[in-house]
Amino acid sequence: MITIFQSAPAQQPLWQSRCLSSVREWCAQQGYRYLFFGDELFDRVPSALRNKLAGRTPIIADLARLSLLKDHLESEGGTAVWLDADTLVVDASWAPNTEASVCFGEEYWLDTDSRGRLKIFKQPHNAFMLFSADNTVLPFLHQVAHSIIERADSAAISPQMIGPKLLKALHSLADFPLYPEAGALSPMLASELVHGGGPAIDAVRESRRPKTCLWNLCGSLAGEENHESNLLALTHDPSLFEALS
């Protein structure tokens, strides 16, 4: 049994509500169990760490999701998948490999440097995480993440310290399996999809990567330029992603 986990606050922007709906529809089509959590997710983090991380909700969420998945697999087994609440399913026919013991999403991040030249980064992300009951990676991540926060100076804890930064550091050594089908959308690529093309779209096409079926929309960047309005447009009309084919 595959169980999909998500969490979000009660008040959500429209584009995020559309993301959550797309995941629920995907789960119904694939026959997955879907479990949604609100702020009660944070109760899984020890109060001492919540106090230390006061005001840093994303970091608390990084700890909480690891505890949630670990506890679920220890008690119920099967396969657990975490999807960030800003994940949009654009191809509900895709399904992860049920025989995989661990897998993360793979982003193909497109941006420009100070001279306007295209930059491309291919790297793992933790907006999609899959673990089976017999995996050893999740207990390790859980232990390491908690240890880092317990020992770190609270003033020196960066926003992605135990999320993407930790995962990327470990991936350089462990070479985790990654799903390019679970990708991440940079603001540059989002803008080009909405406004009719550009070098980022061309780069994706030329890369001949597998089709991205689940897009993490990087809602944390919604305040940058017109990213939020682009997310509204893309979630209203997901067919805009077909420009990448």
Q: What whole-number distance in Å separates Cα of residue 216 and Cα of residue 87?
A: 4
Per-residue confidence (pLDDT) for residue 207, from 0 to 100: 94
> What string of DSSP letters covers 71-98?
HHHHHH-SEEEEE-TTEEES-TT----T
Return the DSSP state at 119.
E
Per-residue confidence (pLDDT) for residue 75, from 0 to 100: 96
Which residues have CB under 8 Å from 85's CB, separation 6+? Answer: 6, 7, 8, 12, 16, 19, 20, 219
Per-residue confidence (pLDDT) for residue 159, from 0 to 100: 85
Per-residue confidence (pLDDT) for residue 158, from 0 to 100: 87
Does the structural domain 2-244 have CATH classification 3.90.550.10?
yes
Please state the pTM of the whole predicted model.
0.95
Per-residue confidence (pLDDT) for residue 223, from 0 to 100: 80
Chunk the chain into consecutive blocks of 10 residues (it has 245) and report each block's average pLDDT, rounded to whole numbers.
94 96 98 96 94 92 96 96 98 93 96 89 96 96 96 88 93 96 96 94 94 95 87 98 95
Tokens of 189: 């690529």
Q: What whole-number distance in Å separates Cα of residue 210 and Cα of residue 197?
A: 19
